[in-house]
């Protein structure tokens, strides 16, 4: 049994081990596989291919006849041509739910940074401003309490529900827009249409999957309905916002701030308008990656591979 990991580095930059895979066969690990030609060269002859964000196209699938399982080191699997895999009998397994706590925590990292401006004030103090200040206290920007504010959530899956719970603990009112509110008859939130929700939100956070309906959801029209000065968080997918529209809303002051762990292309292009907009807080797609979450991720991949080889596959998204 030949097993190849095409892009090991982000999931395991060296603080974990791939040795758990040795019980299944011969394992070859590559930190990165940047081209399709290398994908085909390195995965040739492998029955199991493990990857995170390295694309597997139809062209590659058709040239890897020995491949039986693609184990994705993530919940999303849009980097794999699912139709081609299905046609060629290649199972694709993902890892749902491993990073829910981490992403919910990152959501509030953005919100609390905006509300309390910790980094701004810490940098000022460390630069010597407090030492030189005539007063015992000073503020460089307005601060805000979360209690009593309204949080709007788009999407109410595992992460959305976790964010709602944290928001409630801060004393926030929680409004939710989701495609299937009937699934949650006892939810301690209020479900409403976007047009009703947006004008009420002090904070709004995206937690919906990437679909044709959510692509470009946050656009000029969406932003025009949002409460002026609201803070927007995107830890879902970068393609769910129209970046130029968000940048324009930030620069005009219509949008009070924007925190995001994802952008439309990653790494971003240097001319991405979000990078130079006002009141932006960005992290490089790390919400999923605390140590504890990555331990769960690798454990789940172990289970996915083992179950597939035992003839009882789990988390298969295409069969």
Q: Which of 117, 237, 294, 296 is catalytic?
A: 237
The answer to whether the CB of 250 falls within 8 A of the CB of 269 is: no
- On whether the CB atoms of residues 197 and 217 are closer than 8 A, the answer is no
Tokens of 62: 């058709």
Residue 74 CA to residue 53 CA, distance in Å, equals 8
- Read off the DSSP letter of residue 134: S
Q: Which run of H or of E encompasses 204?
A: strand 203-206
Which of the residues 42, 88, 254, 285 is marked catalytic? 285
The helix/strand/coil state of 47 is: coil
Q: Looking at 58, 266, 292, 299, which residue is catalytic? A: 266
Q: Omega into 298 within 30° of 0, i.e. cis? A: no
Residue 285 falls in the annotated catalytic set? yes
47 is catalytic: no
Rg (the chain; Cα; Å) = 22
Of 198, 201, 196, whose CA–CA distance to 220 is shortest?
198
Residues near 175 by Cβ (< 8 Å), separated by ≥ 6? Answer: 150, 151, 152, 153, 189, 190, 191, 192, 197, 200, 201
Active site residues: 237, 266, 285
């Amino acid at each position: 049994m030949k097993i190849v990991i095409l892009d090991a580095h982000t999931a395991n930059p060296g603080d974990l081990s791939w040795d758990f895979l040795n019980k299944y066969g011969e394992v070859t690990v590559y930190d990165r596989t940047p081209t399709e030609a290398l994908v085909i060269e390195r995965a040739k002859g492998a029955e199991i291919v493990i990857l995170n964000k390295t694309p597997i196209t139809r062209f590659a699938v058709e040239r890897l006849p020995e491949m039986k399982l693609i184990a994705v080191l993530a919940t999303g699997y849009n980097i794999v041509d699912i139709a081609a895999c299905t046609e060629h009998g290649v199972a694709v397994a993902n890892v749902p739910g491993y990073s829910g706590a981490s992403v919910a925590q990152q959501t509030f990292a953005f919100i609390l940074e905006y509300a309390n401006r910790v980094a701004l004030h810490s940098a000022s103090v460390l630069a010597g401003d407090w030492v030189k200040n005539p007063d015992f206290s000073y503020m460089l920007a307005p601060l805000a309490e979360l209690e009593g504010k309204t949080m709007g959530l788009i999407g109410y899956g595992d992460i959305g529900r976790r964010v709602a719970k944290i928001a409630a603990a801060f004393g926030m009112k929680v409004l939710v827009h989701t495609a299937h509110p009937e699934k949650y008859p006892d939810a301690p939130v209020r479900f409403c249409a976007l047009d009703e929700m947006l004008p009420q939100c002090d904070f709004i956070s995206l937690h919906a999957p990437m679909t044709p309906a959510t692509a470009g959801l946050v656009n000029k029209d969406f932003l025009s309905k949002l409460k002026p000065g609201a803070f927007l968080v995107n830890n879902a997918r970068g393609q769910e916002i129209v970046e130029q529209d968000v940048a324009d809303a930030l620069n005009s002051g219509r949008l009070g701030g924007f925190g995001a762990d994802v952008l439309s292309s990653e790494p971003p292009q240097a001319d991405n308008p979000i990078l130079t907009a006002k009141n932006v807080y960005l992290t490089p797609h790390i919400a999923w990656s605390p140590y504890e979450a990555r331990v769960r991720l690798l454990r789940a991949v172990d289970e996915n591979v083992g179950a597939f080889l035992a003839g009882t596959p789990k988390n298969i998204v295409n069969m």
